[in-house]
Amino acid sequence: MMRPLLLLPEMLLVVGALTALLGGSFVPRHQQWIIQILSAVVLVAVIVTAAIGMAGPTRTAFDDSFTVDTATGVARILAAVGTLLVLVLATDEIAGTARESETCALLLFGTAGTVLLAGAHDLLVLAVGFLLATIPLYGLIGLVFTASGAEAVVKTYLLGALFGILLLLGVTILSGLTGSTGYTDLTSALADAPPAAVTGAAVALVAGLMFKAGGVPGHFWVPDAAQAAHATAATFLTTVPKIGALVAVYRLVGVLPDAVPWPVLVAAVAVASMTLGNLAAYWQSDPRRLLGWSTVSQVGFVLVPVVVAGRSDLALPSLLVYLVGYTVTNIAAFAVTAAVPERRDLADYRGMAYQRPWLAAALVVVLLGLVGTPPTGVFVGKLTTATAAWDGGYGWLAVVVFVNTLVSLFYYLRWIVPTYRPPEPGPPAAGQTHARGRWASCTAVTAAALSLAAGLAGGVVWTVVSGP
């Protein structure tokens, strides 16, 4: 059955993006804020319709090519909430600029691709979602007209093309082996397919999705883009696309036969991502580049429950709980850097607690939250993912999570310590005498509060993501 209304949130995002793109051509520059308000209304509508859709049982649309279930509903709401926070943060950067409406359109298109990835139940839908979530990123990164920005967008484009080809190669191999692209047909047909060919296709598909998630081996573009792009683009690309990509990986491994060693593959990617991300972040002095490597490591943590998909009932709920905590926490961290754009070195944060105490408090909450300190949302996520790994027979992976969590504490402390040191004697540095980035500051404090709320209400969040 077609059931197009099941894709109402996705249709709202696409129509909203097209309206923002075309409407921006007819709205005077000093009234472009109308497009931003329209985009916010669309995102709120998506949240409401997605929440209503979660109340029903699991359903499929367009001949089982798209699934509407708890995972899809959570991904829709998280992606919309994340983009809404990014849109608020963006006000300081895009208000009155020549690219205000285009930024809104790119954010909505990227969000549409993200939710399409999350609900994809067909390889062709997966490929379309990948492209729709990827192409807007090139435009967002390229909005900053600097040499480092140009380098970042070229690197992202080249890697996106490479890993996009790998993903399409995996789609081609699996469809050629089975004569179908639907996950339902693949589940039964792949059992009789040559294991070596299926394994090669699985490697290509997972690698392609890791580009979108920002994990190993498709992670190379993330630190450069996080450092060089505008705060709006950096915050969005390190947060929202991961939601769809990681849920897509979870769905994909569910169709692979037991003859394919996919748990070993995903576990290797998880360990490599969390370890490499942590080690690389330790030496960074630019806060946004540090957060870029941090997001690489966080992908490794989120992949842990995927390893035990089908082996533990805790796998999917723990994955979704982690995504809830990570989304608001990571956005809050980048919002802090957007609120004080003149501080581009960790040493520049010295004395910020004395100058902007609320912003400093939000920074401490989110950095300790990214470590996995209670009572934040990421703490609940790390606890449940490690429990899922243990429950699924991968106790060693839970130990790796614990060790990497301890390692990550050191480089986050390198940022926290100068923030609470007394400021240097003498007159304040230029650009630090007055509060700047009012909207980014509000976003940082709000998202940090949501991170705490997600941790304190961890039981409620778990109940919601566990589904009926």
Q: What would the pLDDT profile of 153-163 be if each residue is shown by its tens digit?
A: 999 999 999 99
State the pLDDT confidence band at 3, using cuts at 50, 70 and 90.
Answer: confident
pLDDT of res. 467: 79
Checking if the pLDDT of 456 tops 50, the result is yes
Checking if the pLDDT of 8 tops 80, the result is yes
Q: Which residue is it, tokens 């205000």?
A: 100
Mean pLDDT of 250-258: 95
Quote the mean pLDDT of the chain.
94
Higher pLDDT, 146 or 174: 174
Residue 43 dihedral angles phi and psi, to the nearest 5°? -65, -40
Cβ atoms within 10 Å, residue 322: 28
Checking if the pLDDT of 364 tops 60, the result is yes
Tell me the two tokens of residue 136: 């807007």
pLDDT of res. 31: 85
Q: What would the pLDDT profile of 194-210 be if each residue is shown by its tens digit?
A: 999 999 999 999 999 99
pLDDT of res. 351: 93
Q: For residue 215, give every residue at least 6 positions away whose Cβ sits within 8 Å of its Cβ, in sequence order, or none.
A: 269, 270, 273, 296, 299, 300, 303
Mean pLDDT of 169-173: 97
pLDDT of res. 434: 43
Mapping DSSP onto H, E and C, the string for the chain reads: CCCHHHHHHHHHHHHHHHHHHHHCCCCCHHHCHHHHHHHHHHHHHHHHHHHHHHCCCCEEECCCCEEECHHHHHHHHHHHHHHHHHHHHHHHHHCCCCCHHHHHHHHHHHHHHHHHHHHECEHHHHHHHHHHHHHHHHHHHCCCCCHHHHHHHHHHHHHHHHHHHHHHHHHHHHHHHHCCCEHHHHHHHHHHCCHHHHHHHHHHHHHHHHHHHCCCCCCCHHHHHHHHCCHHHHHHHCCHHHHHHHHHHHHHHCCCCCCCCHHHHHHHHHHHHHHHHHHHHCCCCCHHHHHHHHHHHHHHHHHHHHHCCCCCCCHHHHHHHHHHHHHHHHHHHHHHHHHCCCCCCHHHHCCHHHHCHHHHHHHHHHHHHHHCCCCCHHHHHHHHHHHHHHHCCCHHHHHHHHHHHHHHHHHHHHHHHHHCCCCCCCCCCCCCCCCCCHHHHHHHHHHHHHHHHHHHCHHHHHHHHCCC
State the pLDDT confidence band at 430, using cuts at 50, 70 and 90.
Answer: very low
Checking if the pLDDT of 468 tops 80, the result is no
Mean pLDDT of 324-344: 96
Checking if the pLDDT of 326 tops 90, the result is yes
Are 380 and 454 contacting, i.e. CB atoms less than 8 angstroms apart? yes
**Could you tell me what percent of the chain has a pLDDT over 90?**
87
List the domain boundaries for the chain.
263-468
Mean pLDDT of 303-317: 96
Q: What would the pLDDT profile of 60-99 be if each residue is shown by its tens digit?
A: 999 899 999 999 999 999 999 999 999 999 999 988 888 8
**Interatomic CA distance for residues 18 and 10, integer angstroms:** 12
Q: For residue 330, give every residue at least 6 positions away whose Cβ sits within 8 Å of its Cβ, in sequence order, or none.
A: 235, 238, 239, 291, 294, 295, 298, 366, 370
pLDDT of res. 30: 79
State the pLDDT confidence band at 352, using cuts at 50, 70 and 90.
Answer: very high
State the pLDDT confidence band at 213, using cuts at 50, 70 and 90.
Answer: very high
Checking if the pLDDT of 1 tops 70, the result is no
Cβ burial 375-388 (10 Å sphere, 16+ → b, else e): ebbbbbbbbbbbeb
Mean pLDDT of 343-350: 94
- Beta strand 66-68 pairing with 59-61: antiparallel
pLDDT of res. 55: 84
Checking if the pLDDT of 409 tops 50, the result is yes
Checking if the pLDDT of 266 tops 60, the result is yes
Residues forming a β-bridge with 59: 68
Mean pLDDT of 131-155: 94
Q: Which residue is it, tokens 């983009």?
A: 83
